Amino acid sequence: MTNITTIIQENATRHGNDRKALIPILQSIVKEKKYVDRCDMVSIAKALDISAADVYGVASFYSFIEEKEKGENVIRVCKSITCEMKGKHKILKELEDLLHIKLGETTHDKKFSLLETNCLGLCDVGPAMLINENPYTHLKAEEISDIIHKYRHSVK
């Protein structure tokens, strides 16, 4: 795993040592370890000479920047009105039943985290979800088991 200080320095060099580098730094840390904790936010604030509250404000605004460690596979179910109208609730119920967790939780084996997120930009092909960066569209409850099975038995 890359050192967080190195990620911050590389991005500050590339994007500038000010607020412009904030989102690229946050994205790079998420890419590396899947979340940005409060210690990371303080380090970013010091490097960019901005307040930790500013860093937290930006990080907490974006639903794809997690503040706590999540499972190996992060499932994000779209909660747009379009996906709701197309059956999102059935998809969510199937995921909760299959994974034995509720929305916002992580499985005991740390393999899956189940989240809702605002529009994924897939309204025309909903209901939709992302697992990590992989989109699944036109979902039907009966397909969920096969999709989860692939991730449950994948080798890293």
| All residues at 6 or more sequence positions from 64 whose CB lies less than 8 Å from its CB, including other chains | 30, 76, 117
Spans of all domains in the chain: 4-61, 73-152
pLDDT at 154: 78
pLDDT at 1: 52
User: Are 89 and 69 a contacting pair, CB within 8 Å?
Assistant: no
Q: What is the per-residue pLDDT across 10-34, written as a single tens digit (0 to 9) for each?
A: 998 999 888 899 999 999 999 888 8
pLDDT band with cut points at 50, 70 and 90 for residue 2: low
pTM above 0.75?
A: yes
- Output DSSP code: residue 106: B
Q: What is the per-residue pLDDT across 104-156, written as a single tens digit (0 to 9) for each?
A: 999 999 999 999 998 888 889 999 999 998 999 999 999 999 999 999 987 55
List the Cα angle 117/105/33 in 5-degree steps. 75
Q: Of 1-5, 55-59, 113-117, 130-134, give the lowest mean pLDDT range.
A: 1-5
Nearest to 127 by CA among 111, 147, 97: 147
The topology under which CATH files domain 73-152 is Glutaredoxin (3.40.30)
